Amino acid sequence: GAVVSQHPSWVICKSGTSVKIECRSLDFQATTMFWYRQFPKQSLMLMATSNEGSKATYEQGVEKDKFLINHASLTLSTLTVTSAHPEDSSFYICSASPPDRGNTEAFFGQGTRLTVV
């Protein structure tokens, strides 16, 4: 199966600082990656679509200046949480789909648990 790797697995940061999360497709190229946020015991909420070489597409209600997305290569997308606050604490997960799977079977990273103190 396809492998998507996310780093770091967990991070603790102080309020007001920025945190960068990386999402890599290890054995396939992904022109599109997706970033989700998940609150405890809840489902995944799509935050944005990361597009290689162009601007990300954000879902309604997601602040693009708060959650900066960069997709500079076909195997790497980054999500930067800027000026983090405790309410940004959450589990962030990325996904990507190999082109030969019709772009509809998603493979997920391990997730990043962000705690802002």
Q: Does 41 bind other proteins (CB under 8 A)?
A: yes
Q: Does 32 bind other proteins (CB under 8 A)?
A: yes
CB-CB contact of 109 with 95 (8 Å): yes
Q: What are the structure tokens assigned to 111, written together?
A: 């997730």
Q: Does 25 bind other proteins (CB under 8 A)?
A: no
Beta strands 112-116 and 10-13, pairing class = parallel
Using CB under 8 A, which residues numbered 56 to 95 contact other proteins? 91, 93, 95
Q: Is the peptide bond between 86 and the residue preceding it cis, with omega within 30 degrees of 0?
A: no
CB-CB contact of 32 with 75 (8 Å): no
Residue 1 or residue 86: which is nearer to other proteins going by CB? Answer: 1
Q: Does 7 bind other proteins (CB under 8 A)?
A: no
DSSP at 59: P
Q: Does 115 bind other proteins (CB under 8 A)?
A: no
By CB under 8 A, name the binding residues for other proteins.
Answer: 1, 4, 6, 32, 34, 36, 41-46, 49, 91, 93, 95, 97, 102-111, 113
